[in-house]
Every structure is written in C-alpha cells, then in structure tokens.
Amino acid sequence: MSISIARDNIANSIRNLESLIIWDGDIVELDCDWKDHFCYIFLDVMESWWDDILPYPVIDRRGFLELLYNGSNEERLSGVLRDDIYLAIEPTLRDIVQEVYDEVHNTPVEPFAGYERGQ
C-alpha cells in the first residue's frame, strides 16, 4: 500500500478530531488513544515498516496490528508495545500528521530560513 492512502486516512481522522478538541496539528499534544489511532492508521497501510517495528516472530502481522490496537487496550503488555511503537515512529508520524493537518486547513508553510538567497 502507499503513503497516499495513509495520508488520506489521517486527513479523515483529523477532520473527525477537529469536532472534539482544539488542536494545532502536533501529534505530541494528543492523548495516547489518538496517538495509537494515528499509529494504527499509518502502520496498517505502510507494510514496509513492519519488519522494523513489529516483533520478529509474528507471522500474521496484519492480525497482530488489529489485535494490538483494537482488541487489547486494557492489557499492560499491549500498552507497553503501543508506547514503544509510537516512540519508534513518532518522528516520521509527527511530520506526516502535521503536513496533512496543514493541507486540511490550508495553512501556509513557512520556508526553511536557510533556503533564502545568499544563505
């Protein structure tokens, strides 16, 4: 699957989230349930990340993700795994969620200061 599907799913979640909280697009500000939601959306379609993120002996990786994020929320071990997965993908996921948030809200992106002429 592709990043465009993940971005579309993230955009839909951002629109749904807007009706619940005031937020500026930084995933760090969200509670753990929303962080888990965005992690699941991302990992569900980004199978290329599975080898790096999911435990090696897991054979049914899609089923594992489904159970981890949607079927075991009260179990301590699954909470530890979800937290560790979030921390592993947070830099990439944070950038993607912020970019999609800015696109959904037509927020102008300020250019990196180092790109100005003469710098």
Q: How far apart are CA 89 and CA 50, in angstroms?
A: 11
**Which amino acid is it at 72?**
S
How confident is the model at residue 93, as a pLDDT? 96
Among the listed residues 100, 105, 107, the one whose alpha carbon sits nearest the alpha carbon of residue 5: 100
pLDDT at 109 over 90: no
How confident is the model at residue 114, as a pLDDT? 66
pLDDT at 119 over 60: no
3-class secondary structure, 111 = coil
pLDDT (tens digit per residue) in 75-98: 899 999 999 999 999 999 999 999
pLDDT at 27 over 80: yes
- 78 neighbors 72 (Cβ within 8 angstroms): yes
pLDDT (tens digit per residue) in 58-76: 999 999 999 999 988 778 9
C-alpha dist (Å) from residue 1 to 11, 41, 48, 49: 17, 12, 9, 11
Residue 117 binned pLDDT confidence (cut-offs 50, 70, 90): low
